Structure 1
């Protein structure tokens, strides 16, 4: 039996044993201008196109450039309202034109032990995550199965991302995360950036960094934003839309790790095997 078949069977077993089929993915960037919010919105739209039921928890609330603001949404409540049973998740959230449900979730506003999987029974929960003043994740984002860090292919972003990975590692004993390079002109250069970060993280931090993919620079992103829509729904043939759909499709193949927090290494997987898979 091939190694791939064994891995596929093991992943299937993990899914069957999971307490919930809902996958939680936190998306964040070390700076606002890197496109993490746009990434979360477009991945959500792409997942809906796959037939997934998607909830986006917006830790930026109603701030300028938040998902709620960019989609011109006005939810009736927040995650805290849902956790306290004042509203149902369906009643509190607003639905974007692409089909993604959006719910504000300001850090510290809700019970830190409230697992969003128990409040909403859809397929995927995306968290548009923010870092605190010391570069740490909220309690909500720490519950995610995966953390995707968004960076851009220039020196300042690469340096700040690596510094942020170090802070996350020491703040949360972080053992794994994924990298998504945004605004890419040359996909080969983006692959090299990810490969260099994977090697550096493994060598100096013992952190498993895995590529999530890249999104090409695309003027249609600006046009979609003007229309208060995602590029995935407004301009589906554009380069960025194609890339977002590819990454969303790949998300379904990410190893299923039921009950794992970001600080806990995957069961029965070694750092070496993760790095080999990412290379």
Structure 2
């Protein structure tokens, strides 16, 4: 009964992982008449001396460090707003969730047009400032390209984590809020001593899922900037795929993938340790 699942797991996870480890020690190319040769730790030494990898690593950490608290916090605020039992709240839940079910490729293309020098965003900036301020060419400026991708990514993904927060809010017993009201607690006190502790498991899940998704940034970069300008938006995943497919250096791309795997695993373990339940 479990054989179909085991077969798919072997095909799409176990075999690729084993191949990644094996190819990391070779000079394998994607298309080459020359057989791959064992090169030992040469690819790892190349990785340690690769300035592009370190730039991609910094960009990845920058994206994750900004988007994790921003998207998680905004999603919690939206969840608190739509958790109220008022007429029409389901409409707002639907509106906030629509970007989540829209393809990231479609969203990236749409926002690429919005970010153009003559796009809607710059037009709004010019109108709101009565023509005194003109927006930059967002995706072609190294100082604004990554913030632009962050803004778009938050808009697209905040609805999903809003639903997760909302599910967590609805598991908190109502008796705790009634007791807090009897004691005369303010809204902030109720949130800090009732809501926030009650979301312990939920915030651990939200934190880890946002972080893993942030480290896996690829689609937005591939569609909107192709890693530019001046590698200001290149990430570890984007560099690995560009190295493996565009440059056909499968061996070196495998090493980058292993570095990414270790990175995500380490960050996830640290987050899990920091958010563990303490006696």
User: Could you say whether these structures have the same fold, taking a TM-score greater than 0.5 normalized by the shorter chain as the test?
Assistant: no
User: What is the TM-score of this pair, normalised by structure 2?
Assistant: 0.27
- Structure having the larger proportion of residues in helix: 2
With a CA cutoff of 8 Å and minimum separation of 6, indicate the structure with the bigger relative contact order.
2
Q: Tell me which structure has the larger Cα radius of gyration.
A: 2
